Chains A and B, each alone.
Chain A
Amino acid sequence: MVDTLMDFQDAVIGYEADFPLISDLNLRITRGNHVVITGACGVGKSAIVKTILGLLSHWKGEYYAFGRDMGHPSAPLLSYVRKKIGILPDRGILLQHLTVFQNIALPLRYGQFVPLEKVTALLEPFLEEFRLEDLLDRYPSSLNLDQIKKVGFVRALINNPDLCILDDPFEGLDDEGVEAFWRRLALIDSEKETTVLVFTRKTMNGKSYFSHRYHLMSDGLHEVS
């Protein structure tokens, strides 16, 4: 089992080579050590997420995911890496033409071809915890942002990924939703199966299980004590 999940070494990240958002990214994420990265809007948090998942290339430096060089990743390598990661994108982002259940089942059914019965069984523990019982047959257009975020969170976690990336998870959540997220994150920490990487605009104090805290600026990450 690989203990280093992600490893960026002097990586230059951005949407265009001439205009890098982050000029010198050094970040190692090891199994079981949850990480929080804070940063203002537009500083490149979502660009790091997209680079981790292979939607953006890093322009310079090195990037390894689960021990594999992501310099010029092949389609099978991208698929391998993405299946090991659960992602809650910024704004949740559900597919509008699918119901809540189909959205949650999407990565399992179409990414890993898990049978429907197993998807239903995996979903069961989340239903009450995130109050999803009455939402399963509804479409995203009828949900509020709090519900969308919860559905996206469950979608990210349903298959016990090695790494769970949460991009601005608390934006749009009501107090009850925030509490539900924290309860689940505490459970994840106790189970030691999934490592969590949180990107957020707000500082998150008082949660000791995030062993590494960074503040993202354009010249790279700065560790926060």
Chain B
Amino acid sequence: MLTRRLILNSFLLPIVAAGLAALPIISIVALLVGAGIVAETGIELPKLGIQNLMGAIVLHVIFGIVGPFATALIVTARSTSGLAVEIGNMRVTGELDTIEMLGVNLSNFLVTPRLVGIVISNIALTFYFGLIAMTGGFAMALMGLSMPIATLVRMIETSIKLSDLVLPFLEGLGYGLIISSVSVYHGLRVKNSPVDVPRETTLSLVSSLSLCTVMLSLYLIFSSLA
């Protein structure tokens, strides 16, 4: 049986690699996006007379729509190409064949840890993005809109629902599955030629971005119908 230490070694490293390394860029993007969303809603909603919906709208946009999608885009840009290149190069250099010849299960050793690692990282980064975006939003409310933070916090407190936490989890899960499976699939499609690697890497990026966009569209359509 797999020992606990083996499982930790196999699964923890890809999670750390995919997740921790993305924190700086996620932080910058999230701060800017959060500030932008709060600036937009803080200026436009009062003109429409619905400023009381600001908390709900900010929460929904950040945690339900922009946060998961922007996180998926960043993870796609960082991890999809990296994973496809890694696995593709392992095919070209004969490492994948060697793993199998040594009696090691390719799925257990290589594929599953990376799939699970990216999915867990993506979910965690989605929530991280939301929290940092809210921080950016608070900063914008305080400095740009001269709105007391307590006011924005109260708006969010009164409008937050369980679904605001469940949805980003589900979206992070869905985007993570798309990104990881597309990356691994294209990495494994590399044959024995080095020229296959850049081609499959490009294809994995395009496929991942397209499928994430399709998922976002389907989510927006069905959530508006529900």
Are A53 and B94 within 8 A (Cβ)? no
Using known A-B contacts A95-B95, A113-B3, determine if residue A53 contacts B100 with beta carbons closer than 8 Å. yes
B86: chain A residues at CB < 8 Å are 97
Are A55 and B100 within 8 A (Cβ)? yes
* B contacts with A, residue count (CB < 8 A): 21
User: What is the distance, in angstroms, from B120's C-beta to the closest C-beta of chain A?
Assistant: 20
Are B2 and A111 within 8 A (Cβ)? no
CA–CA, A87 to B97, complex, Å?
11
Pick from B2, B97, B102, B108: contact of A155, CB under 8 Å: B102
Chain A 113-147 per-residue mask, 1 if CB under 8 angstroms from chain B, else 0: 10110000000000000000000000000000000
Interface residue? B219 (CB, 8 A): no
Chain B 85-125 per-residue mask, 1 if CB under 8 angstroms from chain A, else 0: 01000100111011111111100110000000000000000
Interface residue? A91 (CB, 8 A): yes
Interface residue? A215 (CB, 8 A): no
CA–CA, A93 to B1, complex, Å?
27
Interface residue? A190 (CB, 8 A): no
Using known A-B contacts A82-B103, A112-B103, determine if residue A93 contacts B98 with beta carbons closer than 8 Å. yes
CA–CA, A155 to B101, complex, Å?
12
* A contacts with B, residue count (CB < 8 A): 26
Find residues 43-97 in chain A having any chain B CB closer than 8 Å to their own CB.
49-50, 53, 55, 79, 82-83, 85, 87, 89-91, 93, 95-97
Interface residue? B165 (CB, 8 A): no
B100: chain A residues at CB < 8 Å are 53, 55, 82
Interface residue? B21 (CB, 8 A): no
A97: chain B residues at CB < 8 Å are 86
Interface residue? B6 (CB, 8 A): yes
User: What is the distance, in angstroms, from A111's C-beta to the closest C-beta of chain B?
Assistant: 4
Interface residue? A177 (CB, 8 A): no
User: What is the distance, in angstroms, from A80's C-beta to the closest C-beta of chain B?
Assistant: 9
Are B109 and A110 within 8 A (Cβ)? yes
CA–CA, A188 to B46, complex, Å?
85
Are A79 and B98 within 8 A (Cβ)? no
B94: chain A residues at CB < 8 Å are 89-91, 93
Q: Which of B6, B99, B102, B109 has the most CB of A within 10 A?
A: B102
User: What is the distance, in angstroms, from B97's C-beta to the closest C-beta of chain A?
Assistant: 6
Report the nearest B residue to A87, measured CB to CB: B101
A93: chain B residues at CB < 8 Å are 93-95, 97-98
CA–CA, A53 to B108, complex, Å?
19
Interface residue? A212 (CB, 8 A): no
CA–CA, A142 to B99, complex, Å?
21
Are A107 and B3 within 8 A (Cβ)? no
Are A55 and B101 within 8 A (Cβ)? yes
Chain B 1-39 per-residue mask, 1 if CB under 8 angstroms from chain A, else 0: 111011000000000000000000000000000000000
Find residues 142-198 in chain A having any chain B CB closer than 8 Å to their own CB.
155
A112: chain B residues at CB < 8 Å are 103
CA–CA, A113 to B10, complex, Å?
13
Are B101 and A89 within 8 A (Cβ)? yes
* Further pairs besides A87-B98, A111-B105: 19, Cβ < 8 Å: A50-B101, A55-B97, A55-B101, A79-B103, A79-B105, A82-B100, A85-B103, A87-B102, A89-B97, A93-B94, A106-B102, A107-B102, A110-B6, A110-B104, A110-B105, A111-B102, A111-B104, A113-B1, A113-B2
